[in-house]
Amino acid sequence: MPTSRRNDGHAPPPAISAVALRKSYGDKTVLDGIDLHIPAGSVFALLGPNGAGKTTAVKILTTLISADGGQAQVAGHDVAEHPDGVRGAIGVTGQFSAVDGLITGEENMLLMADLHLMSKREARQVTAELLARFDLTEAATKPASTYSGGMKRRLDIAMTLVGTPRIIFLDEPTTGLDPRSRHNMWGIIRELVADGVTVFLTTQYLEEADELADRIAVLNDGKIAAEGSADQLKRMIPGGHVRLRFTDPTAYQAAASALTEAARSDEALALQIPSDGSQRELRSLLDWLDAAGIEADEVALHTPDLDDVFFALTGSDKPKETVR
């Protein structure tokens, strides 16, 4: 595989990379210069509100449409110059199901195997293995139109895996699934990652990006508004704090009168000190408590969650009911 090939003894090339990727429809700029660098074997989540351009990015990287500007490489192949090389290395599960409802789950799988030019024997074997892995053996001979949403989505991913791609694109793999099916899907994605597959994921669910992704990029107004690990993103916006809780009112009073920037909760004997959550800030606070001979009974670090980050970066207000 090109992704695992060593590059003159240096780090292996990224599985997916893009520089200044642009795409417009008419006078509407959808992608306004996107850079990506996704190491092989990692999970990357592209997060953005409806219409942000997530599917557009997936379509360009998977060679379904072409960009207006910039460059992208997938599995070492330029998407514009060597689309066949890209297609041979990737699997794609689109935002909308590719399952044909009129034929059975098994027939859908065999069709994919056919597209991969597998022999009949190999096709039967791969189909049986994948259907079993995705808990679809029992439903295999029923028309796919009778499947539940979760079963269809599992079949979608099983179809994507027929050619054992090393890089897979999942455009909103869990949208519309109930919490249990969503957790099952996360398990499937984690298994793929454990096998060394690179996963490019788009999602509306911040929790999903938090659970699965090594790196997250927030797409807004055609640009990547922020990129980093979930923790890095959470530290980028204010709202984090250290909470100290006391059982001894004297200790509480001593800390409260010295830590003037802290928000007090006299009833709970608790203080909230604004903090970026860094080791340095936490240590200096704990050192100060030690030096002052003040003992807190509980020290808790609160970092803002991804919802805070997302709504801060995309400029919308955080709704009262957030996606959980």
- Interacting residues with Mg ion (CB under 5 A): 54-55, 95
Q: Which of 237, 202, 159, 258 is nearest to 44 (CA)?
A: 202
**Residue 315 interface partner, choices Mg ion, ligand ATP, none, CB cut-off 5-8 Å depending on type:** none
Q: Please identify, using beta-carbon distances, which residue of 53 and 85 lies nearer to ligand ATP.
A: 53
**Residue 56 interface partner, choices ligand ATP, Mg ion, none, CB cut-off 5-8 Å depending on type:** ligand ATP
**Residue 213 interface partner, choices Mg ion, ligand ATP, none, CB cut-off 5-8 Å depending on type:** none
Q: Please identify, using beta-carbon distances, which residue of 68 and 107 lies nearer to ligand ATP.
A: 68
Residue 200: exposed, middle, or buried by beta-carbon count in 10 A (0-12, 13-18, 19+)? buried
Q: Please identify, using beta-carbon distances, which residue of 69 and 196 lies nearer to ligand ATP.
A: 69
Shortest distance, CB of residue 185 to ligand ATP, whole angstroms?
A: 17
Q: How does 234-265 read in b/e, with b if 16+ C-beta sit within 10 Å?
A: bbebeebbbbbebeeeebbebbbeebeebebe
Summarize as ranges the residues that interact with ligand ATP (CB under 6 A).
Answer: 25, 30, 48, 50-56, 95, 204
Shortest distance, CB of residue 244 to Mg ion, whole angstroms?
A: 44
In whole angstroms, give the CA distance from residue 19 to residue 2. 19
Shortest distance, CB of residue 201 to ligand ATP, whole angstroms?
A: 12
Q: Please identify, using beta-carbon distances, which residue of 29 and 95 lies nearer to Mg ion.
A: 95
Shortest distance, CB of residue 222 to ligand ATP, whole angstroms?
A: 9
The dihedral built from the CA positions of residue 202, 205, 208 and 213, taken in this order, carries a sign that is positive
In whole angstroms, give the CA distance from residue 57 to residue 249. 56
Q: Which amino acid is at 258?
A: A
**Residue 25 interface partner, choices Mg ion, ligand ATP, none, CB cut-off 5-8 Å depending on type:** ligand ATP
Collapsing DSSP states into helix, strand and coil, what is residue 321?
coil
Question: How much is the CA Rg of the chain, to the nearest whole Å?
Answer: 24
**Residue 76 interface partner, choices Mg ion, ligand ATP, none, CB cut-off 5-8 Å depending on type:** none
Q: Please identify, using beta-carbon distances, which residue of 54 and 234 lies nearer to Mg ion.
A: 54
Instruction: Give phi and psi for 49, each to the nearest 5.
Output: -70, 170
Shortest distance, CB of residue 57 to ligand ATP, whole angstroms?
A: 7
